[in-house]
Amino acid sequence: MCASMDFSENYLSSVKKQFLYYKSLGDKTLNQLNEEELFYSSDESNNSIAIIIKHLWGNMMSRWTNFMTEDGEKAWRKRDEEFILHNESKQTILEKWENGWQTLFNALDSINAQNFSTAIYIRNMGHSIPEAINRQLCHYAYHVGQMVLIAKTLKKEQWQSLSIAKGASKDYNKEKFSKEKRNIHFTDDL
């Protein structure tokens, strides 16, 4: 097995786990919200979690549909519409959330050693596959972080922490350091 194949397989395995991790943070956030909270916005200049999801969905559909053969900014994408609510229900928003992620994971599953060097274009700018993936990984993490912050602000003391709770770092580290050193992705040990 050649080194470049090892790299592409290791890289793809790692980024899939990272995307799954950020999706799980979003899922755990959404599970804590009712419909009113999902659509809450402090004012017209700020996005609700529902709008952030519509934007993520639009981006995922555009970037990952036929991503190796078509530009990532599709002519059919209506990005400005992603920031407007049209009487969508919680169910509709959650379907978009799942559909966007499924499109992403299907695209990642189509990458292999034979096509790993394919140039990916977004708005006519060429990217390597790792560059295109990293661009989107950072973008999605940014927006999931916004979702978490909005939800945490809304839920206040009812918020269920998605990571190490305040004051629990010492116990968490003690548990981690009680195990032997091992080479695993950090998400494998959550």
pLDDT of residue 2: 54
d(CA 114, CA 116): 6
pLDDT of residue 90: 96
With CA atoms as reference, report the closest residue to 108 among 52, 63, 58: 63
- What is the CB neighbour count within 10 angstroms for residue 140? 21
pLDDT of residue 131: 97
Spatial contact of 132 and 72, defined as CB atoms under 8 Å apart: yes
d(CA 70, CA 61): 12
What sign does the CA torsion over 105, 110, 115, 116 have? Answer: positive
d(CA 90, CA 87): 10
Both tokens of 66, joined, read 């036929």
pTM of the complete model: 0.92
Both tokens of 133, joined, read 């993936």
pLDDT of residue 5: 57
With CA atoms as reference, report the closest residue to 59 among 104, 126, 124, 15: 104
- Eight-class DSSP state of 33: -
d(CA 64, CA 70): 9
Alpha helices in 31-114, H assignment, sequence order: 35-38, 49-64, 90-109
**What pLDDT tens digit does each residue of the chain (190 aa) get?**
455 557 688 999 999 999 999 999 999 999 999 999 999 999 989 999 999 999 999 999 999 999 999 999 999 999 999 999 999 999 999 999 999 999 999 999 999 989 999 999 999 999 999 999 999 999 999 999 999 999 999 999 999 999 988 898 998 898 889 989 888 888 887 7
pLDDT of residue 189: 75
pLDDT of residue 33: 98
pLDDT of residue 51: 98
With CA atoms as reference, report the closest residue to 33 among 21, 49, 55, 44: 49
d(CA 74, CA 71): 6
For domain 3-161, give the CATH number.
Answer: 1.20.120.450
d(CA 16, CA 185): 11
At residue 126, the 3 state secondary structure works out as strand
